[in-house]
Amino acid sequence: MTSRDVEIFQEHRAFLLGLAYRILGSKSDAEDVLQDIFIKWYQQPKSDIVTPKAWLTTICTRQSIDLLRSAYKSRTEYIGTWLPEPYHAEDDMCIESDFTLSTMFLLLLEKLSAKERAAYLLHDIFDYDYSELSKILEENQNYCRKLISRAREKVVFEHDLSFTPPTPQQIKILHIFQHAVQSGNPEQLTALLTQDVHLFADGGGKVSAISKPLLSIEQVTQFFEKLLFQAWHAFQWKLQRINGNIGFDFFDAHGKCIMVVTFGFSANQLIQNIYIQRNPDKIKGQHQVALYKNRQNNYF
C-alpha cells in the first residue's frame, strides 16, 4: 500500500464512519467496521478499483448490514430500554445533517430491517440514486424502490426532527435545565418541557435504570423530584456535543464518566425527549477528566 492509498482512505473516512454509525447505532461497532474496511482496502489490488469511494461505500454498507442483523437479534433480548451508543463530536464526525445523528432519529431507524435501514440512509440522507443503490445492495432497482417505500412508511416523524435549536440556544436551555435540577426547582424544570415529554434510560441490566419510558410531563417531573434532583446533584456536569446536539456528560468524584444524557427538542424550543445512557459498556470509551468546578461560564 502506498502513502496515496492511505490518503484516499483517510479522505473518505468521515463519510464511512458516519454511514456505519447511522446503520449500526454503535460507535464501537462502526469503528470495528472501519478497521475491517481498511484491511480489505490494504489487501485489494488497486488496479481492480475504478472508483475508490464507491468501492469503500459498498464494503462499508455490506459489512454494516451483516453486523446489524446480528445486533438486532441481541437487542430483542436486551434488558430494559435499548438506546444507541453516544457519539461525541470529533473532526471526523462533522457531517452535514446533524439531526441524522440524533438519538431520536437513530431510534426511529430501529423500526427498519438492516437492508431497509441501509437503503433509506443511502438514498434519503446521502442522496444515492437507485442505480448506485442497486449495485451496493446487490438488488434490482425495483426492489430497492420497495425497500425505500417500506422504510418511509415505518419512519414516521411524530415531530420535526430536522428542527434543532441553534447551538447557543441549546446551551442556554441546558444551563437552565442544569440549574433547575441542581437547585431542585420543579417549576423551573417544568417550564422547559413539552406536555408529552418522554424520558428513556438505558442501564443494559448492569446498572439501575427505569425499565420503561416515562411518557408525560407529570411522570417526568415526579421522577426528577423523587430521585434525580438528589442523585444528580452529586455529579460533575459537562456540556458536550453529542449525537449532533448539545448534551451532558456526568462524572463521579474520581473523574470517571458514569452517564451521558442527550435531548430532543420541539419546534418551539422545549425539551421533547430526555435520553439517559447509563450502560457502562456504551460509555466506557469516555476519557476520564480531572475534577473541576462547574461555573456558569465554564460549561462548553
Within a domain: 42: yes
Q: What is the pLDDT of residue 159?
A: 59
234 in the same domain as 146: no
How distant, in Å, are the alpha carbons of 71, 122, 262 from that of 233?
35, 43, 18
Q: CATH number for the domain including 108? A: 1.20.140.160
∠ CA 114-116-118 to the nearest 5 degrees? Answer: 70
Domain's final residue, options 94, 127, 154: 154
What domain range is 88 assigned to? 3-154
> What pLDDT score was predicted for residue 161?
62
At residue 160, the pLDDT reads 64
Residues 278 and 186 reside in one and the same domain: yes
If asked whether residues 130 and 186 sit together in one domain, one would say no
Percent over 90 (pLDDT), the chain: 80
Helix then strand then coil, % of the chain, to nearest 5: 50, 15, 35
Number of independent structural domains in the chain:
2
Domain boundary pick from 154, 189, 214:
154
296 lies in some domain:
no
208 in a structural domain: yes
Residue 278 domain-assigned?
Answer: yes
Question: Global pTM?
Answer: 0.89
Task: Give CA–CA dist 167/238, Å, rounded.
Answer: 15
Domain of residue 205, CATH code: 3.10.450.50
Residues 147, 8, single domain; the answer is: yes
Query: What's the CA gap between 208 and 11, in Å, rounded?
Result: 42
Residues 43 and 127 in one domain: yes
Which positions ≥6 away from 197 have C-beta within 8 Å? Answer: 216, 217, 220, 270, 271, 272, 273, 274
Residue 137 in any domain: the answer is yes
Are 82 and 12 members of one domain?
Answer: yes
203 inside domain: yes
Is the same domain home to 183 and 127? no
Residues 181 and 221 grouped into a single domain: yes
205 Rama class: left (phi>0) / alpha (psi -120 to 50) / beta: left
Domain shared by 243 and 185, yes or no: yes
pLDDT along the chain (300 residues), means of 10: 89 95 96 97 89 97 98 93 89 54 94 98 97 98 98 81 82 98 98 98 96 97 97 94 93 95 94 97 65 35
Per-residue pLDDT, 116: 98
- Whether residues 36 and 138 share a domain: the answer is yes
Q: What is the pLDDT of residue 162?
A: 61
β-strand partners of 257: 251
- Does a structural domain hold residue 294? no
Backbone angles phi, psi at 253, to 5 degrees: -65, -15
Residue among 48, 56, 58 at smallest CA distance from 10: 56
